[in-house]
Amino acid sequence: MKNCNVVLALLFGYLIAGVTNYEDQPYVDASKISAAPGIDFLWTEWFGIGFYGPAVIPLLIAYVVTTVETVGDITATHEVSQLKIGDKEYSARVQGGLLADAVCSFLASIFTSMPNTTFSQNNGVIALTKCASRRAGFAAGAWLIVIGVLAKVAGIITSIPDCVLGGMTVFLFSNVLVSGISLFGKLDLNSRRIRFIAAMSLAVGVGVTIHPFAFQDMRASSYTAAFWTCADCGSTLKGLRNGISIFLSTGYCIGSFIAILLSAIMPEDQEVEEIAAKEEPTVEAEKQYDA
């Protein structure tokens, strides 16, 4: 029961949403459940495979972002699982996670499906349940396969109202934030170099997150920011502009890039030399000097 508290809380919220309504409008949309077939497979529907040139740069940026996210998520998983960070086993797990993301995303694109990415909410689940067993991960993968085949079950999952999912994910992401703060606290914050890198990356990353319209103005139409209007550009140049806009307006992307760049070019702190204060002459020393 303790290990299932996240699922039980989600189901309890789903139950409350199912028996209530707002202004005679139900929270739960049962049409998704009734429209879903009994059994479904990935290859029953597919989209034509093609190549779209302007999307190459945005896709490359997206994969860089997911790479940075994967490294952060695996590190946070190590932290909440009470495993060592920085040893060879940690590096091997990071490499394995990145390889798994790449291979699975490649296969997903062949299957005309969405690419793969790590879910940082799972770190919050580990922190809540104290369950970091690999067998739990295998069981979760099996359940996902079952849900993907039994479309009715998938319809029930997709019919969960956004308010219920939002209440759960906000709490889980808060646990992710706490894990990040815990990892950040292990750095030498007395180092001027580390403080400068952290300040610059956080300032730019949080800044574009709070105000993304500087580089990707979505209020009027897509990609109409004043920094690069590109009104008469061709499709290739517009693809380049869109990719740069996505890169500059994504906080964890530009913030991570600045942190990596500054970490590579900034020199280490110089050793601080402490100068001993001169001792005041004593009265006996002054008498001897006068004599």
Q: Can you give the pLDDT at residue 13?
A: 85
Is the per-residue pLDDT at 79 higher than 60? yes
| pLDDT greater than 60 at residue 277 | no
Asked whether 63 and 174 are in contact (CB, 8 A), the reply is no
User: Residue 233: which domain range?
Assistant: 187-269
Identify whether the C-beta of residue 159 lies closer than 8 Å to the C-beta of residue 11.
Answer: no
User: What does the pLDDT read at residue 289?
Assistant: 62
Pseudo-torsion of CA 95, 98, 100, 101, nearest 10°?
180
Residues 155 and 33 in one domain: yes
- pLDDT band per the 50, 70, 90 thresholds, residue 279: low
The residue from 186, 211, 234 where one domain ends is 186
User: Does residue 249 share a domain with residue 177?
Assistant: no
Mean pLDDT of the chain: 77
- Between 181 and 277, the higher pLDDT residue: 181
DSSP 28-96: S-THHHHHS-SS--GGGS-------GGGHHHHHHHHHHHHHHHHHHHHHHHHHTT--SSSHHHHHHHHH
pLDDT exceeds cutoff 60 at 203 = yes
Residue 32: predicted pLDDT: 74
Are 176 and 225 part of one and the same domain?
A: no
| Higher pLDDT pick, 57 / 269 | 269
Max mean pLDDT among 6-10, 83-87, 138-142 falls in: 138-142
The arithmetic mean of pLDDT across residues 199-214, rounded, is: 83
Is the per-residue pLDDT at 219 higher than 60? no
Query: Mean pLDDT, to the nearest integer, of 1-11?
Result: 74
* Local confidence band at 231 (pLDDT 50, 70, 90 cut-offs): low
Number of domains in the chain: 2
Q: Are residues 255 and 157 in the same domain?
A: no
> Domain for residue 284, yes or no?
no
Judgement on whether residues 148 and 217 belong to the same structural domain of the protein? no
Q: Is it the case that residue 201 has pLDDT exceeding 80?
A: yes
Q: Quick one: pLDDT at residue 221?
A: 57
pLDDT of 2 strictly over 70: no
Phi-psi region of 82 (alpha: psi -120 to 50; beta: other; left: phi over 0): left
Q: In this predicted model, what pLDDT tens digit does every residue of 84-99 receive, in sequence order?
A: 877 888 889 889 988 9
Residue 238, pLDDT > 80, answer no
Q: Is residue 291 part of a domain?
A: no
Question: For residue 151, is it within any domain?
Answer: yes
With 60 as the cut, is the pLDDT of residue 222 above it?
A: no
Flag whether 254 is in a domain: yes
The per-residue pLDDT for 283 is: 59
Average of per-residue pLDDT across 188-197? 86
In this predicted structure, what is the pLDDT of residue 275? 63
pLDDT tens figures, 21-65: 777 777 887 777 777 777 777 666 666 777 766 667 667 777 777
Confidence of residue 284 (pLDDT cuts 50, 70, 90): low
Of 107, 96, 88, the residue nearest 71 (C-alpha) = 96
Say how far residue 76 (Cα) sits from the centre of its chain: 11
Over residues 214-242, the mean pLDDT reads 67
Q: Which of 168, 186, 204 is the last residue of a domain?
A: 186
Q: For 210, what's the count of Cα atoms within 13 Å in the CB-facing half-sphere?
A: 6
In a domain, 279, yes or no: no
Domain edge (last residue) among 137, 170, 186: 186
178 and 207 share a domain?
Answer: no
Same-domain pairing of 201 and 175: no
pLDDT above 80 (res 191): yes
Q: Is the pLDDT of residue 165 over 60?
A: yes
Separation of CA 46 from chain center? 29
Please indicate, yes or no, whether residues 161 and 253 belong to a single structural domain of this protein: no
